[in-house]
Structure 1
Amino acid sequence: MALDRAAPTPKINTEIDRRFAGSWSGYERDRLFLNPDGPEPRFYNAEYVYGLDFDHDGRAIAPVDIDGDGDLDLVFLTLAGLRIVENRAAPAHFSRIALKPASPPFPALGAIVRLTAGGVTRQDSVRVVDGYLTHVPADIHFGLGACASIESVEVRWPSGASETWKNLPVDRRVVLTEGTATFEAAPLPRWTGRPATAEGLNRDAIAGLSPAGRPLVLVVDPASAMTVSELEALAKRHPGVEVACLAPTPPRSSQVAGVPATTAQIARIFDNGNAPASPSTLVFAPDGRLARAFGRIPSEAHLAPLLDSLSDEPPFPIDSILLGRAAIDRLDFQKAHALFEEAVRLRPESTVARMMDGLALVGLKRQAEAVARFQEAADADPEFTSAQINLGTALVELGRHAEAIQTFRRAEAQWPAHFGIQIALGNALAGTGRLDEGLGAFDRAISLKPKDPAGWLGRGKVRVLKKQLDLARADLAEVLRLDPGNREAAELKTALDRR
């Protein structure tokens, strides 16, 4: 299944999932199997020794270098949210290999890399999925221990070609391009602090809970299943921090501001209308920016370093993008436009921010500016299908049909089996009187998704224009079979039946 960039993903947690505060797995602990003997096939239970015997309801785990220090940390996805475990082992040498194939697909899925250092050859392959619901970086990580040099790296590309590079540097991200004898090497980008986000948070609804210029720790607890000892300790040790709790029956405490709120009232804080998991903790920076979102009540030891570093954390573009998408969902296009503009300013190379800003501008009826944004995204990433489709659609709205058709044709060349492209191309061709070509596009769309009424409706409308009325009636009847509530098809078919 192909997912276009920025395409929304379904929310899979049900109401009972959010309110359940126990353990679906009976508090079964995580396992870590350690092989200390190299090639010897002996593994030992080592989770307790490394402090990884969590009893959370885990769903997925990914090794990823979160802080850019050259070793792999662990990211857990649990029913309580994300959990990140930093690798604090003694520093050692490493190599991070990134591959650029000569032709699509990108990345070089299935490529095999053999790295030799210190007389030992290590092997790995390029993949983006590793485990249940787990996306991993396409770069390949090799731990090298005390080896300070790399003798060789051999790559077997998906094309079948094999190439070897000699004497590569360690402790670098090395980019190898198929068909090129040279390489690019650069230090890893270090993590400088990244705020988390709670998508859809209506920050105005909680603006009065903390005086301006002070951090706010807000516990949102619809079920009131909490203790306040950690929060009171936090408030005592950090007198410059406001600590508050929203709950139907908030705790009574001189250090924690308790705000009575029903589950429905709490849900209105979030623009999707759903109360968060019970409990959740939101941390706001002194400027009112959401800095972290936890699916639990973190300990004072976890929160203390975060509160100390809030003023040094820069804004992060993904926060603006997620909040902008939430603003589009509630049709607040002006706010969405401002958020996407901020994301573009923070990360000018972000094609997603530019494409989403185009959608906000379409909502504001600023079609010419939307076309410019979509064009920027499409030029920066020609394989960005959503940008190509939205660019073509916006061009149609401006009456620039020839340019729109060219745009859809370029997208079709990259994704000939893309249903949305065929629908958009068919509409654009039919709108310019190129009915036979439009009919062909809708035929291809129907072959791709015969149970989607959009293809049948488009073809039926073209057949009306071609005076093929019996065939048009048959297509419209199929639309109504698939979607009995389709008003456009019903009205058009009624008009045909009266002839």
Structure 2
Amino acid sequence: MTRPLDRNARLPQLREMDEEAGEFWVENPFTMPKEGLNISAYERNRLFLNTDGSDFVDASFASRADIDSDSRAVIGADFSGDGAPDLLVSSVGGGPLRLFENRFPSRARAQIELVGTKSNRMAIGARLTFEVGGQRIVRDRFPHNPGMGQGPVETVVGLGDVGKIDTLTVRWPNGETQHFKDVPVGPQVTIVEGEAGFKTAQ
């Protein structure tokens, strides 16, 4: 939906509405909050928990995320500073932002920060390949952009109970590739494009 140039514009309905079928017309939805109206359909949120890498369990009620606020954007990021991704949720029609803190037991996770030098500074478009305990995990580095928000550009990967990443391969946006051995999990690891090693946060 595009905001009109004239925010007070009133667009007449194109034909008669069939109210019995649930049809309605709003002359300008962007004036609704000022008029005390709300377009929320009070749809309940859903939160699904991945249990074994392939199956999901509906954890909406147990997590208390099943609010009927007709939410439109969710951003996953570590807001509490404990290394685990939390969820920030915004809803249509106004209302407060809601933060759902991740209270699951701490597990091993890789937190990789990339700094581009030849490529773009945030290394958007880079591909990271993690080789851990015989498994290969691939992540592309892009900001998460839900409908009404934008998440941080970060790479966080859950790794269960492993103690280190055997090999981390970074393919930078310009096509160049670097390999790193025995990368630690837990603290944030910073990799600068073109530099041989990596830095670990204290």
> TM-score normalized by structure 1?
0.33
**Candidates 82, 88, 98, aligned match of 1:75:** 88
Name the CA distance, whole Å, in 2 between partners of 1:30 and 1:24: 16
- Give the CA deviation at 1:47: 1.4
2:100 to 48, 67, 85: 85
Question: In structure 2, do the counterparts of structure 1 residues 93 and 44 end up closer, same or farther at CA, with 3 Å as the change threshold?
Answer: closer
- 1:145 and 2:176 matched: no
Alignment of 1:155-234 (within 5 A): 155-187=170-202
CA displacement, residues 146-197 of structure 1 (integer Å, 9 cap, x when unaligned):
112221111111111111101111111111112111111104xxxxxxxxxx
- Report what 2:75 is aligned to: 62
Distance 1:89 1:18, change over 3 A: farther
Letter matched to residue 32 of structure 2: I
Aligned residue for 1:130, secondary structure, equals coil
Are 1:17 and 2:33 an aligned pair? yes
Amino acid at match of 2:149: T
* 1:132 counterpart residue number: 147
State the alpha-carbon separation in 2 of the partners of residues 104 and 37 from structure 1: 36
Q: Structure 2 CA distance, aligned partners of 1:171 and 1:43?
A: 25
Structure with bigger helix share is 1
Q: Distance in 2 between matches of 1:145 and 1:32?
A: 21
Shift of 1:53: 0.7
User: Aligned-pair distance for 1:18?
Assistant: 4.5
Q: CA deviation at 1:138?
A: 1.4
Structure-2 change in CA distance of 1:34 and 1:87 (3 Å): closer
What is the alpha-carbon distance in structure 2 between the residues aligned to residue 96 and residue 103 of structure 1? 22
Partner of residue 14, structure 2: none
Identity of aligned residues (%): 32
Q: Which moved more, 1:135-144 or 1:23-32?
A: 23-32
SS at match of 2:33: helix
Alignment match, 1:96? 111
Letter in 2 for 1:111: A
Which residue is equivalent to 2:5? none
**How big is the alpha-carbon RMSD for the aligned residues of Structure 1 and Structure 2?**
2.0
2:62 aligned residue: 49
What are the ranges of 5 or more consecutive residues in structure 2 without an aligned counterpart?
A: 1-28
Distance 1:57 1:71 in 2: 25
Query: Residues 126 and 26 of structure 1: is their aligned pair in 2 closer, same or farther, counting only changes over 3 Å?
Result: same
- Contact kept, 8 Å, 2:139 with 2:155, in 1: the verdict is yes
Match for 1:37 among 33, 52, 55? 52
Which structure 1 segments of 5+ residues have no match?
1-12, 188-499
Q: 1:173 is matched by which residue type in structure 2?
A: Q
1:118/1:149 contact within 8 Å kept: no
Q: How many residues align?
A: 172
Structure 1 residues 172 and 17: alpha-carbon distance in aligned structure 2, compared to 1, 3 A threshold: same
Cα displacement (A) at 1:85: 0.9
Using the alignment, how far apart are the partners of 1:46 and 1:121 within structure 2?
Answer: 28
Q: Which has the higher contact order (CA 8 A, sep 6+)?
A: 2
Q: 1-side partners of 2:181 and 2:136: how far apart?
A: 13
Q: Which amino acid aligns with 2:159?
A: L
Distance 1:126 1:119 in 2: 23
* Distance in 1 between residues matched to 2:40 and 2:164, nearest whole Å: 46
Alignment CA distance shift 1:34-1:90 (3 Å) = closer
Pick closer, same or farther for the CA change 1:130–1:15 going to 2, 3 Å.
closer
Answer whether contact 2:119 2:172 (CA < 8 A) is retained: no
TM-score (norm 2): 0.77
SS in 2 for 1:37: coil
